Amino acid sequence: MIACHLTTVHAYNDGRIFNKECRTLSKKGYQVHLIAPNAPDKVENGIYVHGISRSSNRIKRMLITTYKVYKKAKEINADIYHFHDPELIFAGLMLKSAGKKVVYDVHEDVPRQILSKYWIPRNLRKIVSKFVELIENFCSKKFDGIIAATPYIARRFEKMDVLTETINNYPLLHELWTEADHCPEKEQAVIYVGGITSQRGLFQMIEAIELTKYKLYLGGNFAVEKERNIAMTMSGWKKTIELGFINRDEMKEYIAKSSAGLVLFHPEPNHIHAQPNKLFEYMSAGLPVIASNFPLWKEIVEGNQCGICVDPLNVDEIRQSIDWIMDHPGEALEMGKNGRKAIEEKYNWENESKKLIEFYQKL
């Protein structure tokens, strides 16, 4: 059975697409192809990777790159096509019309995400959001299955009488885990790793760290250069170590020597019901977390006693939680152990991978 995964947005070695889904299918005996932008043409871990050139212009990417991916997908002549970006919906419809099985992997609640897109004029966001939701709902009924990255996303598609499965983007059990006898001594530092934007708490993190005796590791790329320029003028920037983009091994190293992980997303519509990877990755590494006090996140963090939830817009609350972690190393260690235990018991890819195989077998 040949399975072909398609993306125009993600890197070919994306954690969810390549390291989890594609490798899971390959180990199960599927011949797996992956078409991704600017990827090397090679076979890696048994997966056939096909690169497509991508324009940096958003409109050209949505039109030209999408068509290139579709053309390459047709050449592969797979049995199942599994696409990961909403801009590939129409390519999915064309593959479906050619008699193929087609799966839409919904990573984000796209209509709600649009409400926070800085590059869409604010007065148009609701209109664009509604239009995109109508298209997504209508087209999704034509596909053979929907894979949703969170239960919240899945509930929307379950109403459409289409095969739907929640496959959470939980971490691999051993990827970020460092055994106690190899773990470096903790530094007086907290860490954030991921896409860096004001909506993900950039300015609040820098303001809070300025009020403490500690430092902030900031790993990832800035989505908006203007926000980086503003951040560099803030007093807390002198206590901020900008790491830039870091690979998985570097991420593991910095998380291991940090005292807490920050996930302080603002209460935007697409954040409140999200399950950010970094929350579970910190837990996987045995790191206590300081997270936004959304009901779902409180259920995960406080329910597993693995961190502290705060108002992400309240700099003093963030500062107090950082101070508390540093002042109570014993309790912080227990929080980290509790988070790791929760990963081992519930929130791991090894469990989710079984659901992916069962889903493919249903197809």
Give the model's pLDDT for residue 330: 96
In a domain, 175, yes or no: no
Query: Which residues, listed in sequence order, are joined to residue 289 by a DSSP beta bridge?
Result: 261, 307
Same domain, 309 and 353: no
> Is the predicted pLDDT of residue 61 greater than 80, yes or no?
no
The domain tally of the chain equals 2
Same domain, 300 and 257: yes
pLDDT confidence tier of residue 253, bands split at 50, 70 and 90: very high
CB 175 within 8 A of CB 288: no
Give the model's pLDDT for residue 63: 79
Q: What is the percentage of the chain residues whose pLDDT exceeds 90? A: 90
Give the model's pLDDT for residue 54: 82
CB 138 within 8 A of CB 132: no
Same domain, 286 and 148: no
Give the model's pLDDT for residue 192: 98
pLDDT in tens, 312-336: 999 999 999 999 999 999 999 999 9
Same domain, 293 and 358: no
The residue-averaged pLDDT of 274-297 equals: 97
Q: How far is CA 303 from CA 169, 176, 300, 338, in A?
A: 19, 22, 5, 10
pLDDT confidence tier of residue 244, bands split at 50, 70 and 90: very high
Same domain, 203 and 330: yes
User: CA nearest 168: which of 182, 145, 150, 141?
Assistant: 150
Question: pTM to 2 decimals?
Answer: 0.92
The residue-averaged pLDDT of 287-304 equals: 98
pLDDT confidence tier of residue 310, bands split at 50, 70 and 90: very high
The residue-averaged pLDDT of 281-289 equals: 97
The residue-averaged pLDDT of 176-182 equals: 83
pLDDT confidence tier of residue 344, bands split at 50, 70 and 90: very high
Same domain, 45 and 155: yes
CATH number at residue 268: 3.40.50.2000
Same domain, 69 and 154: yes
Same domain, 294 and 265: yes
Residue for token pair 């705060």 = 310
- Could you list the residue range(s) of the whole structural domain that residue 321 is in? 180-345
The residue-averaged pLDDT of 15-25 equals: 97
The edge-to-edge listing of strands for the beta sheet with 189-193 is: 240-244, 215-219, 189-193, 260-263, 289-292, 307-310
Structure tokens at 48: 């056939």
The residue-averaged pLDDT of 31-41 equals: 97
**HEC profile for the chain?**
CEEEEECCCCCCCCHHHHHHHHHHHHHCCCEEEEEEECCCCEEECCEEEEEECCCCCHHHHHHHHHHHHHHHHHHHCCCEEEECCHHHHHHHHHHHHCCCEEEEEECCCHHHHHCCCCCCCHHHHHHHHHHHHHHHHHHHCCCCEEEECCHHHHHHHHCCCCCEEECCCCCCCCCCCCCHHHCCCCCCEEEEECCECHHHCHHHHHHHHHCCCCEEEEECCECCHHHHHHHHCCHHHHHEEEEECCCHHHHHHHHHHCCEEEECCCCCHHHHCCCCHHHHHHHHCCCCEEEECCHHHHHHHCCCCCEEEECCCCHHHHHHHHHHHHHCHHHHHHHHHHHHHHHHHCCCHHHHHHHHHHHHHHC
CA distance 206 to 240: 7
- One-letter amino acid of 251: M
CA distance 363 to 356: 11
In a domain, 249, yes or no: yes
Give the model's pLDDT for residue 78: 98
Distance between first and last Cα of the chain: 11
The residue-averaged pLDDT of 50-57 equals: 86
The residue-averaged pLDDT of 84-111 equals: 96
CB 2 within 8 A of CB 31: yes
> Is the predicted pLDDT of residue 258 greater than 80, yes or no?
yes
Give the model's pLDDT for residue 62: 76
The residue-averaged pLDDT of 81-100 equals: 96
In a domain, 288, yes or no: yes
> Is the predicted pLDDT of residue 99 greater than 80, yes or no?
yes
pLDDT in tens, 131-165: 999 999 999 999 999 999 999 999 999 988 899 99
Mean pLDDT of the chain: 95
Structure tokens at 115: 């409400």
The residue-averaged pLDDT of 111-139 equals: 90
Same domain, 10 and 101: yes
CB 67 within 8 A of CB 74: no
Give the model's pLDDT for residue 160: 87
Same domain, 227 and 334: yes
Rg from Cα positions in the chain: 21
In a domain, 255, yes or no: yes
